[in-house]
Amino acid sequence: MQNEGLNNNLHRVIHDYIPKHVLSTKNKAKTWKYGYDPKYDLVIISKDGTLGEVYEIQNLKIGLPKPPKACPQRHAKKSEQYWEREEIPAHLNKIQSIFQWNEMTSDFKSRYVDYIEREFDRREDGYWFMNNGKPTYLTGAHYMYLQWTSIDVGYPDFREANRLLYIFWEACKADRRSFGMVYLKIRRSGFSFMSSSECVNTATLAKDSRVGILSKTGTDAKKMFTDKVVPINSRLPFFFKPIMDGMDKPKTELAYRVPASKITKKNMFDVDDDEIQGLDTTIDWKNTDDNSYDGEKL
């Protein structure tokens, strides 16, 4: 039983954790580095060289980026400010692959290239928005979940508890001392969809890598793969979807690689490996066992 005096909040903001003159100087020069800072015992998840609020979650101190001068907001009224997913432009939504994009006119491409680059920046750096009058930060992985991950009920709702989970998870990825995260969850919290989204997000960013799935049983792992991971991948916009080999709805493995081509006398001099490149990354699942992924690098 907890003592009544203990703070039971999910996190707290530590004010004045960094000396003001140090914070000001390094923010101006943008010299804060992503990762663990041993001098201040701080895991920095900012990727733009700035440092804003310092959160403490489960005794881990995590440094967020500094908010921009102006955050996107859906309404001027404070009570009407909340997360709202943006629809992809209708004409861009019709593009299904990079090959189709390459066939479009220069005018069409120039119309949407800024939008595509902006989405890549948000995926990498994270996203700020006004939430009930307060600038609120989403990590890149959380943004991908909210904006681009279609789940069983459509697109996910914003939840503050999920935001803190993603911040902690980003700190685990940034901290070179970390071996991962142990997360005690409740039912129906959306964790299966969040982890499936992160499987796809990680795999579509990495080269020559392997993402593996285990669950209580092999049947559960397979179901997560076929019912969550594969549909999430299929519904990504074309600019986030790498070239794939195999079926659109595989049962055992998602392979982000260039399909093998048969070489004949007619095309043997036309094959150029440098023209089309794949990630050579896969997502798969295995039956639950002590040695399921033993000896394999995930």
Specify the higher pLDDT residue, 140 or 9.
140
Strands, sheet with 281-285, edge to edge from the N-terminal-most edge strand: 210-213, 281-285, 253-256
Q: By percentage, how much of the chain surpasses pLDDT 90?
A: 80
In a domain, 296, yes or no: no
Q: How does residue 268 score in pLDDT terms, banded at 50, 70 and 90?
A: low
pLDDT of 6 higher than 50 = no
**Residue 5: its pLDDT value, please?**
43
In a domain, 90, yes or no: yes
Question: 119 with 241, same domain?
Answer: yes
pLDDT, one tens digit per residue, over 152-182 is 889 999 999 999 999 999 999 999 999 999 9
Determine the structural domain holding residue 32 and report its residue range. 12-63
pLDDT, one tens digit per residue, over 13-41 is 999 999 999 999 999 999 999 999 999 99
In a domain, 298, yes or no: no
**Mean pLDDT, residues 107-125:** 96
Question: 34 with 123, same domain?
Answer: no
**Residue 140: its pLDDT value, please?**
98
In a domain, 211, yes or no: yes
List the one residue out of 59, 75, 63 whose CA is nearest residue 11.
Answer: 59
199 SS3 class: helix
Q: What is the domain count for the chain?
A: 2
In a domain, 69, yes or no: no
Question: 167 with 244, same domain?
Answer: yes
Look up tokens 């150029």; give the residue. 272
Question: 37 with 182, same domain?
Answer: no
Question: 56 with 88, same domain?
Answer: no
**Residue 290: its pLDDT value, please?**
86
Question: 174 with 129, same domain?
Answer: yes
Least confident of 22-26, 69-73, 288-292: 288-292
Question: 82 with 151, same domain?
Answer: yes
Question: 49 with 100, same domain?
Answer: no
Look up tokens 């904006």; give the residue. 147
**Residue 242: its pLDDT value, please?**
92
285 SS3 class: strand
Return the number of other C-beta atoms located less than 10 Å from residue 42's C-beta: 21
pLDDT of 212 higher than 80 = yes
Q: Which helix (H) or strand (E) holds 114?
A: helix 106-125
Q: What is the mean pLDDT of the chain?
A: 91
Question: 182 with 264, same domain?
Answer: yes
In a domain, 187, yes or no: yes
Question: 99 with 240, same domain?
Answer: yes
Look up tokens 């005018």; give the residue. 107
**Residue 127: its pLDDT value, please?**
98
Specify the higher pLDDT residue, 188 or 269.
188
Q: How does residue 113 score in pLDDT terms, banded at 50, 70 and 90?
A: very high
List the one residue out of 23, 20, 47 whose CA is nearest residue 35.
Answer: 47
In a domain, 73, yes or no: no
Question: 59 with 85, same domain?
Answer: no
Q: How does residue 275 score in pLDDT terms, banded at 50, 70 and 90?
A: low
**Residue 2: its pLDDT value, please?**
39
Least confident of 20-29, 205-214, 246-255, 266-275: 266-275
Question: 155 with 45, same domain?
Answer: no
